[in-house]
Amino acid sequence: MEHSGSFTGGKINQEKEKNMCGIAGIINSYDRFSGEETVRAMCGVMRHRGPDGGDIFSAPGAILGHRRLAVIDLESGGQPLYSEDRSLVLVINGEIYNYIQLREKLKRSGHVFATSSDSEVLIHLYEDEGIDFISRLEGMFAFALYDMKKKICILGRDRMGKKPLNWFQHGNELVFASELAALKCHPDFPEELDHDALAEYFSIQYIPQPYSIYRHVHKIAPGHCMVFEAEKNCIRTIPYWKIDFSRKHSGTREEIAAELRRLVEKAVEKRLMSDVPMGVFLSGGIDSNIIAGVTAKLLGKSTCTSFTVGFSDSRYDERKLAAAGAEFINKHSGGKLDYHERTVEIADFSLAAELVRHCGEPYADSSILPTALLSRFAGENITVALSGDGADELFGGYERYLAMTMAGKLDRIPLPIRSLLLRCTNIVKDGGERSFTGRLRRFLRISCAAGSHRYFDLLDRCPEQMRQALFTPEFRSCLSYSGAEYFSSSAGVLSAVHEIEKLSETDILTYLPGDILPKVDISSMAFSLEVRAPFLDREVVEFAAMIPWEMKLHGRERKSILKYAFRDLLAPEISHAPKKGFGVPVAALLRSKWRTPAEELIFESTIGHSEFLNRETVHKLWQDHQNRKADNSYILWSIIGFALFLGEKKCCL
């Protein structure tokens, strides 16, 4: 066990040579154009994603760039990759877990491979099957494949949205990159902000896909590919996969648990493919303990290294539980788990500013900070880490699912009585979001909300009354819809029948690819660390969608079927511990270590004079928070995230 003292989050070190991936490119119908230097600059911005090297493909009508991820085929797996006649060129970010099976089948049909890379199978699959080849891929990926004969470019993204891909169109030119920051290198980058996206950001703390903070810049949606025909200047977006929650498994609890376990173990085994050091993230939660336990058992006599970080604030510290989990795995499950922990403290603002730069747009989920510190810690020792991401959405892990269930039962109580109870809680001193009174106040607030908007009201950090005070009249006049309307519109594409399971499906379509996965991608890539999520394996996801909701949220027990399937890997204290989440004490930090830099950022930077926010309201939110009249940490952190974004690049207002 390692006790490394404390680490103060500061500047990100991008000089350490490890492995990561980034892609970029420009496609158009011109016979000649001078975009090579632009693509080189785009790739240069993403050097942290691929410090092992990179290269550029340039031909009439297409320039593709790549920063190297050397996890598989370290010697010959450089990109771009080409077909045998060099009419097809590929750049890809990610991993293809079933490439060995695909490769062997393609070889038998006569294809000749130039490398041992997992990525080359995409080229040969496209030669055989055309655009439909993407549905054969199992993995996490974002790619661009250019067909020089047909003058088309295919952009594709994995089913769950693990790997990012952003794009915009300028005239008859398509520009794409893994990061928004890279797109901004283009001289014609469209800087106009999307006001509706900005309003959604203040409500849910991220910008949902396929939108971005920029009106004319988009994100490829998970489970979709996009075809750009350069000569016709035509874009087609094609969905190739969708989760189906409508069909349910009829097996017993034991049968479903056994199959779930088999699929998760299979998913972990697939993700152990690597030519570089690997490990696991470990917290005091169920999900990471399952992944750590399965990994340790699969590795047998080999050591599985786990990494845990914690804070001195006990409300946010899970190190004791994580250590207990590691000890239980080693004692009861035959695993060989090497446990390492580190105390981290975020004493200054520089890490937050650096991460916003990588995000390329406002982002206000403060858990990106400990995720980055965990990635930095792990990245000092390994190149690939496994995580437990996705289990909460798939197996009913969030407390809000239980809260929504209970709120529905309260509908039997007349609304005036519920409203009176809510007003009574407002009299009690605000003890913060994580206090009993804070949680009770939020619960009563949603119990008074209309059923169709209730879930959004639970998530909304900037409700209508706050919007009226915080947004300037000019900003409000530009908004075409509310966040609640956006969420309500997504209900039309849901396949779930159970009312609470619909919320889980909504999170899989919005929160998971819009908040959770970008957080992990940005924070890990910043430290040249690849993170793989076994729970997001296609087979696991499709099977999880078939599990009856009552087996996931069983009474008051969340993730019931998951805990039952892996009960031999979970220490009792972990199985029964309340979910903490991976957060930082933002409320306290804004009143202490972060107070001065945050105050300067809010009131002396661009945001203090922006056309979006009412300065008087921002000042009152700040003062009330400092005077402990209210816990305004969520909305203040959103304001800070927006201020950091504005400071990174002057935007067209």
Per CATH, 22-239 and 263-396+502-573 having the same topology is answered no
Token pair of 194, please? 């999307």
Contact 75, 224 (CB under 8 A): no
Q: Residue 58: which of 81, 35, 87 has the closest Cα?
A: 35
Helices marked H in 169-277 — which ranges?
Answer: 180-183, 195-204, 253-270
Of 398, 391, 356, the closest CA to residue 205 belongs to 356
What is the distance between the alpha carbons of residues 107 and 530, in angstroms, rounded to a whole number?
29
Alpha-helix residue ranges (DSSP H) falling in 158-245: 180-183, 195-204
Strands of the sheet with 152-157, listed across from one edge: 81-82, 88-96, 139-147, 152-157, 224-229, 234-239
Q: How do 88-96 and 234-239 pair as beta strands? A: unpaired
Tokens of 506: 């909504």
User: Residue 450's pLDDT band (boundaries 50, 70, 90)?
Assistant: low
Task: Using the predicted structure, report yes or no on whether residue 482 has a pLDDT greater than 80.
Answer: no
Task: Tell me the C-alpha distance between 234 and 239, whole Å.
Answer: 17
- For residues 304 and 335, the answer to whether their CB atoms sit within 8 Å is yes
Q: What are the extents of the domains in the chain?
A: 22-239, 263-396+502-573, 585-653
What is the separation of C-alpha 346 from the centre of its chain, rounded to a whole number of angstroms? Answer: 21
Asked if pLDDT for residue 305 goes beyond 90, the answer is yes
Please give the pLDDT value at position 299.
86
CB–CB of 108/286 below 8 Å? no
In the numeric block, the tokens 């004493």 are attached to 347
Whether 372 contacts 10, CB under 8 Å: no
pLDDT for residue 576: 86
- Whether the per-residue pLDDT at 2 is higher than 90: the answer is no
260: which strand partners? none
Residues 557 and 578: beta-carbon distance below 8 Å: no
* pLDDT (average), residues 434-452: 69
Residue 106 burial (C-beta neighbours within 10 Å; 0-12, 13-18, 19+):
buried
C-alpha angle 1/377/13, rounded to 5°? 155
What fold, for 22-239? Answer: Glutamine Phosphoribosylpyrophosphate, subunit 1, domain 1 (3.60.20)
* Distances in whole angstroms, Cα of residue 130 to Cα of each of 91, 127, 133, 225: 17, 6, 6, 12
345-377 tens-digit pLDDT: 877 778 888 888 889 999 999 999 999 999 999
Please write the tens of the pLDDT for every residue from 30-61.
766 678 999 999 999 898 887 666 789 998 88
pLDDT at 578: 74
Distance CA(325)–CA(322), nearest Å, equals 5
Strand order in the sheet with 278-281: 2-8, 337-345, 304-310, 278-281, 384-386, 530-532
Beta bridge partner(s), residue 173: 28, 170
> Is the overall model pTM greater than 0.85, yes or no?
yes
Average pLDDT over residues 287-304: 90
- Torsion 179-220-635-526 (CA) sign: negative
6, with CB counted inside 10 A (0-12, 13-18, 19+), is exposed
462 given a catalytic annotation: no
Q: Which fold has domain 263-396+502-573?
A: Rossmann fold (3.40.50)
pLDDT recorded at residue 7: 36
Residue 630 C-alpha from the chain's centroid: 30
Counting DSSP H helices and E strands in the chain, the numbers are 29, 18
Active-site entry in 21, 43, 304, 462 = 21
Residue 597's beta-bridge partner residues? Answer: none
Q: Which residues contact 303 (CB under 8 A, 6 or more apart)?
A: 336, 337, 338
In whole angstroms, give the CA distance from residue 488 to residue 483: 9
What is the average per-residue pLDDT within 614-642?
Answer: 94
Over the stretch 206-265, which tens digit does the pLDDT of each residue have?
A: 999 899 999 999 999 999 999 999 889 999 999 999 999 999 999 999 999 999 999 999
Cβ 446 vs Cβ 404: under 8 Å:
yes
Q: Which residues contact 423 (CB under 8 A, 6 or more apart)?
A: none
Range from 67-76, 93-102, 309-318 that averages highest in pLDDT: 93-102
Of the candidates 273, 305, 309, 276, the residue with the CA atom closest to the CA atom of residue 292: 305
What pLDDT shows up at residue 429?
Answer: 62
Distance CA 13, CA 588 (A): 27
16 pLDDT more than 60: no
**Burial bucket for residue 91 (CB in 10 Å: 0-12, 13-18, 19+):** buried
**SS3 letters across 140-189:** EEEEEEEECCCCEEEEEECCCCCCCCEEEEECCEEEEECCHHHHCCCCCC
Q: What are phi and psi of 168, to 5 degrees?
A: -150, 160
Half-sphere exposure of 472 (CA within 13 A, CB side): 12
d(CA 41, CA 274) in angstroms, rounded, equals 30
Query: Model confidence over 135-182: pLDDT tens digits?
Result: 999 999 999 999 999 999 999 999 999 999 999 999 889 999 999 999
At residue 5 the predicted structure's pLDDT band, cuts being 50, 70 and 90, is very low
DSSP 609: G
Angle ∠(166,361,469) on CA atoms, nearest 5: 135
